[in-house]
Each structure stands twice: as C-alpha cells, then as structure tokens.
Structure 1
C-alpha cells in the first residue's frame, strides 16, 4: 500500500542562508526626487515629489470620478523590476525587462482607483461610515480639496467613500502573478532580527501616497515603506484610518522576497475596531496623541476583537490572506525560447 504524504502546514517564506551565500553587489543612485538601488536581478526605485497642482488635480479627478484627498502625492511611487537575465554587474535593455521580467508597483493613482464610488456604493461594496458630518463631507468637490475651510458647494459631487478606504494591494505586470498559498507565511523571526552586519539596511524609503484630515474629524493616510537588506527586501503598504469617536481601520500589505529564491510572498490583512475600544488603552486619558500614531494603534488593535461599529455591509478589507508569486528563471525563459524556435508553422 502506498502511504499518503503528510499534510502540508504553513511554513515561513525562504529564510536565506548567509553562511555560504556571497553578498550581492549593489549600486545606489539618488537625485532630489528619485532614489534607486540595483541589486542582483532587481532594480528598485522610489519617486517622491510635491502634491499635485491644480491642473493635475483636475485631470486626476475627471479620470477617477473622485474628489482627491487634501494631499495627494500623485507623482509618487515605489516600483520594483525583476529581470531574470540581468544582475547588478550587467545591464539589460528596457525591452528585455518588459518581455521577460516582473514589475511590482505602488502608487497613489492606482490606490485611489480602488475607492468605492457611485450611487449605493455602501450597499454594493460595504464599509460605509456614518457620522454627523458625513453628508457635508460627501459633498466635497475639487474646489475645496486643499482646505476644510472652503465653502461647501451647493451641487454635490457623485457619491464616494469619503474615508478613502482603498484595499489596494499594489499592481503586478509580467508573466507571473500572485496566487493564494496556504503553505506560505512571512519569516517574522528574520524580519525582527537586527544583526548589525547581516541585517544592515542598504536602502530605505518611506513614500507618502495620500493624506486627508476628513475636515478635522480624523485622518486617512496611505504610505508605502521599503527596506532592502543584503539578503532580502521587505515592503509595507499601510492605509491608516481614524474617524474620531467612530472607528479605526488599518489595511496592511506586506511583501517579502529573499534574494536568490524564486518566490515573493504577499500578506494582505485588514482590521477595524471601534474608536472607544482603542481609546481605553491610553495611559493618560487626557493625552490623545497616541491615537494619531499608526504603529501604536496597530499594536493595540492586534489585541482587540474586530468590532465594526457601523451597520450595513461590512468593509471588504477585513480579514487576512497570504499569496505567493513565482518568479521566472533565466534558464526557464531560455528553454521557452528554444522551444518556440523549434516550432515550424
């Protein structure tokens, strides 16, 4: 009788071996608006520019059919390009990257395209937040995108999620894509380790994508951070939402890749907790400043049960999933090309 294989259980993503693996060469280039590192088969670039100007706002709002957040960094981005046939010591053309490589990208315009819009979006998508000023806020138009003190227009814009609660996970282009994986997880011990040599930070950036103060009644912030170490890179894209006296929401996208492996692991998770539940954990009830710290709020939310305070359809960002993308190898691509060349029409 043939014995069955043991059941699969979730295991951490590849934990890179540092004993026999030589450190990858890398080069860094920095300009006032762009920061780039080339390491192994990867080129990673962050772009940070001022918020959109008036003309750019008009174009973006027409394209998205959405009033933009007060501070929209529409030209900011984090992009990662993987070229199987290249390394930090050899160059490849952009055409090679487009045909054979994989690109990951995070930017504000793509993120805002995921904000719910249209009549009845609360029932169709879920996650509507109702407070005393909601109707006034939902009437916001491009004419008052810069200040909550601007007059409220008499003609409201089309309905939209005024909290900008996007569930954007980033975008992927190329021959590979993320697929659900019950057998992968992030290597948390590695990411928490702080070895001054093995885990030194070669490249770090924090890229703001948008911010809105919800007319001084909270805040909605989206930013993406990346750190590159000799053995791997790690990305955190976080949406932090605080609606005063109503709720907190956090939507996190974590991306991990160990150099030399052919896997990228992505964990997407979302939490929602009532405002008062978090507020009770303040050391000094009179000091509300910790409630504006996403990291402090996140740690408190981890210990609290998810308790949405709104009625209606739940916010779709709740829950957790783990996905894996398998990178194409240069030898695989070569085999594909050889096979195509042998085909005769």
Structure 2
C-alpha cells in the first residue's frame, strides 16, 4: 500500500514576524481548469500544488508570501518567445515520435517564471529560522532534455534589527550542447549544476518596511543594484 499523503501546516514565530508554511494536495482537475481559463493558458503543470504557501507576515500586516498561482501569473502565455523556440528544437530532435506536433503550444509550455514573491500590504523553501535572522530560497528549475537547463533563484534575507529585507534574484541558463564537459549525472542536481550555468540576470533589491506601521501599509521597493547580461 502507498502511504497516504497528509496535508501539513507549520508556523514559526520570529519576534514580530509569523512564518507560515502549508503543504497540501495536488489541485483537483476542475480547479486547475478554472485557473487555466483565468490565466488564459491551454493547461497548467501536470502537478499543481495550488494551496501550498509560504507566508512571512509582520504583526502589523505587511510582509511577503510565495504561492504557485501568483508564480504562474508571471509565465508568458503568448507565442513567439525564445522559450517556445526551444520547444520547436525539442520537437525537431524527436520528429519520428507520433505526437510531437502536439508539443508546441501558443504559450510558454516550460512555465518559466521570474516570480520573486507577493508583497503583502495589510517569497520556496524555508531554509532556516534563527534568533537573529531568517533566510528563504525560492527556486525554479527547468531541464529540457537535449536542449537546455534553466534555474531562477530568489533569495530573501532579514536580520532582526533591520527595518528591511534583502531580496536577490538570479537567473542562470545554459544549452546542453555547452555542458559537454559536465557529467550528465549532475543535470538532475540543481545544487551541483548551478556552478556550470552562466548568470543571465541578477537583481538585488531592498524591501523597506513602511515607516508608519499601519495595518494596510504597503512595503516599498528600493533597487540596490541590477546587472543583466
């Protein structure tokens, strides 16, 4: 017998902050279809955990959260992107397959997203919570066999005595043809393969807390540095 999946929720308290992490079931097909219609996409990822969430919220209401629905809103649902061109390359390499013509869709079928979290005006994976700080890593990892590997990381860090959070977004990508010197066994290991993927974009931001801590205040963004290649 297969073990029964159990939904879980964990809450952490960090001074005035509450960190909540919820892990739930895969979204039901009817819900997925409704969401796909709302996002104007032909379909959603096969395994969509729509109710999974990581929320970091101050007791005055502001904060940041990470959820799959908002991440999908950052996916390009138009045709003609370079990401779709990769799908065409993938299709050509498998032209003998019966159903290859069904692969290319009028949207980014890789679901690549540069989602960096949703700011709360009343963010993955929780790596650590310590008395002095917390650190969050949100990772998008894509491997298209024979074509490319792409990894978008968002790191969020806050120290207890600071009135801001630091958020760093890094996008890495490489064609498989450029990774001939790398053991293929590393292609499925994000932590190992990352050192071989060239950095395409880096964005560092300072998320400042509102000066007046009112329930409906919104966090502001101050860009500290932006590097693009």
Bucket of the pairwise TM-score, normalised by the shorter protein: 0.7 to 0.9
Q: Does structure 1 retain, via aligned residues, the 8 Å contact 2:146–2:176?
A: yes
Instruction: Give 1:171's match in structure 2, choosing from 99, 105, 118.
Output: 118
Instruction: Give 2:209's match in structure 1, choosing from 294, 308, 327.
Output: 327
Describe the SS at the equivalent of 1:131.
helix
CA pair 132-260 structure 1, distance change in 2 beyond 3 A:
closer
CA distance in 2, matches of 1:172, 1:42: 14
CA distance in 1, matches of 2:69, 2:152: 17
Which residue pairs with 2:67 in the alignment?
107
Question: What's the CA shift string for 1:287-342, capped at 9, x where partnerless?
Answer: x33211111111222xxx46xxxxxxxxxxx311110012235xx448xxxxxxxx
Instruction: Give 2:17's match in structure 1, choosing from 42, 49, 66.
Output: 42
Instruction: Give 1:81's match in structure 2, choosing from 57, 71, 77.
Output: 57
CA pair 121-80 structure 1, distance change in 2 beyond 3 A:
farther
Are 1:259 and 2:225 an aligned pair?
no
Instruction: Give 1:69's match in structure 2, choosing from 41, 45, 60.
Output: 45
Question: What's the CA shift string for 1:5-32, capped at 9, x where partnerless?
Answer: xxxxxxxxxxxxxxxxxxxxxxxxxx95
Tell me the CA shift for residue 280 of structure 1: 1.7
User: Unaligned regions of 5+ residues in structure 2, if any?
Assistant: 1-5, 92-99, 215-229
Q: Does structure 1 retain, via aligned residues, the 8 Å contact 2:11–2:18?
A: yes
Number of positions where the alignment pairs a residue of Structure 1 with one of Structure 2: 198
Describe the SS at the equivalent of 1:37.
strand
Q: Does structure 2 retain, via aligned residues, the 8 Å contact 1:236–1:252?
A: yes
CA distance in 2, matches of 1:277, 1:267: 26
CA distance in 2, matches of 1:79, 1:289: 34
Which residue pairs with 1:90 in the alignment?
none
Are 1:131 and 2:13 an aligned pair?
no
Are 1:160 and 2:42 an aligned pair?
no
Instruction: Give 1:281's match in structure 2, choosing from 182, 199, 213.
Output: 182
Tell me the CA shift for residue 279 of structure 1: 4.1
CA RMSD of aligned residues (A): 2.3
Which residue pairs with 2:218 in the alignment?
none
Which residue pairs with 1:211 in the alignment?
none
CA distance in 1, matches of 2:180, 2:137: 25
Give the TM-score, by structure 1 length: 0.53
Structure with bigger strand share is 2
Tell me the CA shift for residue 57 of structure 1: 1.3
Q: Does structure 1 retain, via aligned residues, the 8 Å contact 2:7–2:25?
A: no
Which residue pairs with 2:132 in the alignment?
231
Tell me the CA shift for residue 37 of structure 1: 0.7
CA distance in 2, matches of 1:111, 1:224: 14
Q: Does structure 1 retain, via aligned residues, the 8 Å contact 2:54–2:66?
A: yes
